[in-house]
Amino acid sequence: MAYIHTIAKLQNYRCCYCDNLMIRHKQTDGQSTPRDALTKDHVEPRAYGGPTQFDNIVAACCMCNNMRGEMDAVAFFNLLQKRFKRDQTLRARWHKITPQEFSTFKLQCIHVHERQLRGLAKTYVEHAIHHMIFTHRRRHQLRRA
């Protein structure tokens, strides 16, 4: 879609997560997307109903897009920046990391994502319980009246 280039231009063609330059590669069928390729990333993931519209799209390199998966965008950004701070060379060689480093970081992302989902589930359960208690009390009071 054309507007990804408008967004990328606003970001000076730098990935919104790792800040590395994104390249517009000519894609041939059957070829895997290079890690530094410019991709369209949904802030609220498509899997969770995030719409494909201007205010939900950022330009991200293929590497960050794959690494993030369905993780919360801000949480991913923070995790990545923390990693870059710990390893000063990591940002510069982000698109060339070893398969070992890739899996280590991907696992970490999955763990954070799972923790977030558990937190969300807990909140939903708490809300449901509060709602049940509330309606039970209300019914009880109505019956007494």
Indicate the length of the chain as a whole number: 145
**C-beta of residue 22 within 8 angstroms of C-beta of residue 61:** yes
Q: Which residues pair with residue 40 across a beta bridge?
A: 59
| 73 binding Zn ion? (CB under 5 A) | no
Our CB check for Zn ion shows the closer of 15 and 71 to be: 15
| 80 binding Zn ion? (CB under 5 A) | no
- Exactly one of 57, 58, 59, 61 binds Zn ion (CB under 5 A); that residue is 61
- Exactly one of 57, 64, 67, 79 binds Zn ion (CB under 5 A); that residue is 64
Our CB check for Zn ion shows the closer of 13 and 50 to be: 13
| 71 binding Zn ion? (CB under 5 A) | no
Print the binding letters for residues 91-120 with Zn ion: x by CB under 5 A, - otherwise: ------------------------------
Closest contact distance (angstroms) between CB of 29 and Zn ion is 24
| 58 binding Zn ion? (CB under 5 A) | no
**C-beta of residue 36 within 8 angstroms of C-beta of residue 22:** yes
* Cα separation of the two ends of the chain: 62
Distances (CA, A) of 129 to 124, 133, 137, 138: 9, 6, 12, 14
